[in-house]
Amino acid sequence: MELATRMICGYCAKEQPYSNGRPCVGCGGLLTRGNHTSHWEGGLGCRNKTQMSRNDRQKYNSICKTVSNKAKIEKKQKK
């Protein structure tokens, strides 16, 4: 099995040598994501609830909120 030695930036489409953890040469965007943290995903502001521990109380937060009848009707009308 042979791994790729080059990769393409998803932001500016510049082809460059593969480098884990270093930003893009052209635009400075991060090409890879580091290891995920348990709560805020490394400061990106979103939590992947499928990867969170079942013991983490934030995983099941806001699951049982009630939805108004108006919101249900509007959702049906959009479809």
CA separation for the pair 16, 5 (Å, rounded) = 9
Amino acid at 66: T
CA separation for the pair 75, 79 (Å, rounded) = 7
CA separation for the pair 59, 48 (Å, rounded) = 9
The pLDDT of residue 40? 62
The pLDDT of residue 70? 92
The pLDDT of residue 7? 87
pTM > 0.75: no
**What would the pLDDT profile of 15-74 be if each residue is shown by its tens digit?**
998 877 788 888 888 777 666 555 566 566 667 778 778 888 888 888 888 889 998 899
Phi first, then psi: give them for residue 6, nearest 5 degrees: -130, 155
Provide the total of helices (H) and of strands (E) in the chain, helices listed first.
1, 2
3-state SS assignment for residue 75: helix
Domain ranges of the chain: 1-32, 36-79
